[in-house]
Structure 1
Amino acid sequence: MIKENLAEVEKRIQAACDRAGRKREEVTLIAVSKTKPVSMIEEAMDAGIIEFGENKVQELSEKYDILPENLNWHLIGHLQRNKVKYIVDKVKMIHSVDSLRLAETISQEALKKNVVVSVLIEVNVAEEDTKYGVKCEEVENLIEQIAKLENVKIKGLMTIAPFVENPEQNRQYFRKLKQLSVDIKTKNKDNVSMSELSMGMTGDYEVAVEEGATMIRVGTGIFGGRNYNIV
């Protein structure tokens, strides 16, 4: 099932790239494996996936210890400062940095482990009360503060768009995040790269790709519905 699902997702990514005049290699597919057992991750690996996203630190750590070292792990869920020390040396990227205090903790723990952590600034583009992330107008100020920290590299922006029936409704948010990214990039800030734009999930990743996403986070589209009983 996973192999077939991945083939379908790949077909849709390619079609979205074609519509937008983009190359397929410009988009990284992150398989969101939260709540999924190791056996399903191994199936995805057999189909060529090496980028995996987890929401929770404990689950990421447990899977990291079991699975091969060549996998790239992305922490895409909200990160509490007291959990940072467990994953700074395990993740390829933290997608959900939304405060200076969190970034300072990442910097401190990264220094202890002698690693450099790539991070994305989480932006609440739609300004939903239920979502984490900073408002668009707060992003630049936050980036300037975080850019001064040691062992943290800002690689771009991330957003979680609203849950909608029609993915076209989220185009405005993806477009806004892309424009924000472009605006920041033109200012050539030290220690800031706007190379990554993490946006789009199972319901709307095609629209996200059309609007410039470089990373899409697909869970249900690959693994099927979630089972929250699995730890």
Structure 2
Amino acid sequence: MTLEERIQDVNKRIEEACLRSGRSAKDVHIVAVTKYVSTAMTAKVLDSGLEHVGENRWQNAEGKWNELGQRGTWHFIGHLQTNKVKDVIGKFEYIHSLDRMSLAKELEKSAAAKGLVIKTFLQINISGEDSKYGLAPEHAANFLREIQGFNHIKVVGLMTMAPIEDRAEDTRMVFRGLRELRDTLNLQGMTKEPLTELSMGMSNDFEVAVEEGATWIRLGSVLVGKEEEE
């Protein structure tokens, strides 16, 4: 399949998932994960009309951003080391992986120095897997309370990664858990503005994530592939 055919297929699957769950497809945004493809392929992604690009390591993203950074909206979706904050700040409009206080402090410091407000997602380890980053759900409220005075970080929502399952349906409770946590935090008034966004769902499980309320889905292989066939 070509990139255009994959985009059409993904959009159809999103629309069908929204129909099943009574949602509007307009509320679901695609982040095209380009970490495994070249700068040329990333340019094709942007040429196709997809506006949001996701990278998980600055070392891999640097060349692409230097050539294409003025196009589209860039999302940092991987684990962010504090010593890499200076590299990504001001380049990536969204950080999907805020998961610890040391990172929050470094983001606040760097964003303040540049006069920016960085949109972030609080990464939550809903599944409880030791191999995954993220705050335990029960620590989310205290974390948000502690950063309430950080004026250069805007937490717009929550992010999680589900376990890789043979059946996508087996991920449902993870995505439902993230949505329910967001709703609970909003009832508690933990942020200046309500948390509206849920970054969840990848190539193998995005339809279930959409059914459970995902507003951002991070798609690599099912959308971008490796390199487009000519």
Against the structure 1 CA distance between its residues 192 and 80, is the aligned structure 2 distance closer, same or farther, given a 3 Å change threshold?
farther
Q: Which residue of 1 aligns with 2:56?
A: 55
- CA-CA distance at 1:40 after TM superposition: 1.1
2:85 alignment partner AA: V
Q: Which residue of 2 aligns with 1:71?
A: 72
Does the 8 A contact of 1:3 with 1:44 survive in 2? no
1:5 alignment partner AA: R
Q: Deviations over 1:11-50 (max 9, x none)?
A: 1011111111111110110000002111111222222101
1:188 alignment partner AA: G
Does the 8 A contact of 2:123 with 2:134 survive in 1? yes
Does the 8 A contact of 1:88 with 1:109 survive in 2? yes
Gaps of 5+ in 2: none
Tell me how far apart the structure 2 counterparts of residues 188 and 138 of structure 1 sit (CA, whole Å).
Answer: 15
Q: Which residue of 1 aligns with 2:137?
A: 136
Tell me how far apart the structure 1 counterparts of residues 78 and 132 of structure 2 sit (CA, whole Å).
Answer: 11
Does the 8 A contact of 1:147 with 1:192 survive in 2? no
Tell me how far apart the structure 2 counterparts of residues 107 and 68 of structure 1 sit (CA, whole Å).
Answer: 22
Q: Which residue of 1 aligns with 2:165?
A: 164
- CA-CA distance at 1:225 after TM superposition: 4.5
Against the structure 1 CA distance between its residues 68 and 99, is the aligned structure 2 distance closer, same or farther, given a 3 Å change threshold?
closer
Q: Out of 92-101 and 40-49, give the one that drifted further.
A: 40-49
Tell me how far apart the structure 1 counterparts of residues 12 and 26 of structure 2 sit (CA, whole Å).
Answer: 13
Percent identity at matched positions? 38
Q: Which residue of 2 aligns with 1:22?
A: 23
Q: Confirm or deny that 1:185 pairs with 2:206.
A: no
Tell me how far apart the structure 2 counterparts of residues 138 and 167 of structure 1 sit (CA, whole Å).
Answer: 27
Does the 8 A contact of 2:201 with 2:214 survive in 1? yes
Q: Confirm or deny that 1:89 pairs with 2:86.
A: no
Tell me how far apart the structure 2 counterparts of residues 96 and 196 of structure 1 sit (CA, whole Å).
Answer: 13
- CA-CA distance at 1:216 after TM superposition: 0.2
2:57 alignment partner AA: K
Tell me how far apart the structure 1 counterparts of residues 62 and 211 of structure 2 sit (CA, whole Å).
Answer: 33
Does the 8 A contact of 2:51 with 2:73 survive in 1? yes
State the 4+ residue runs in structure 1 displaced beyond 2 angstroms. 58-62, 187-193
Q: Confirm or deny that 1:119 pairs with 2:120.
A: yes
Q: Out of 182-191 and 195-204, give the one that drifted further.
A: 182-191
2:201 alignment partner AA: G
Q: Secondary structure of the residue that 1:220 maps to in structure 2?
A: coil
CA-based RMSD of the aligned residues comes to 1.3
TM-score (norm 2): 0.95
Q: Which residue of 1 aligns with 2:201?
A: 200
- CA-CA distance at 1:100 after TM superposition: 1.0
Tell me how far apart the structure 2 counterparts of residues 130 and 108 of structure 1 sit (CA, whole Å).
Answer: 29
1:223 alignment partner AA: V
- CA-CA distance at 1:192 after TM superposition: 4.5
Q: Out of 146-155 and 91-100, give the one that drifted further.
A: 146-155
Q: Which residue of 1 aligns with 2:150?
A: 149
Q: Secondary structure of the residue that 1:74 maps to in structure 2?
A: strand
Tell me how far apart the structure 2 counterparts of residues 60 and 193 of structure 1 sit (CA, whole Å).
Answer: 31
Q: Deviations over 1:109-159 (max 9, x none)?
A: 001111110111100100101110011111111111122212111111000
Tell me how far apart the structure 1 counterparts of residues 66 and 78 of structure 2 sit (CA, whole Å).
Answer: 19
Tell me how far apart the structure 2 counterparts of residues 167 and 181 of structure 1 sit (CA, whole Å).
Answer: 22
Does the 8 A contact of 1:154 with 1:191 survive in 2? no
Q: Deviations over 1:33-92 (max 9, x none)?
A: 002111111222222101010000222332121015131010000000000011110111
Q: Deviations over 1:190-213 (max 9, x none)?
A: 435311100000000000000000
The aligned length equals: 226
Tell me how far apart the structure 1 counterparts of residues 22 and 108 of structure 2 sit (CA, whole Å).
Answer: 38
Does the 8 A contact of 1:61 with 1:87 survive in 2? no
2:64 alignment partner AA: K
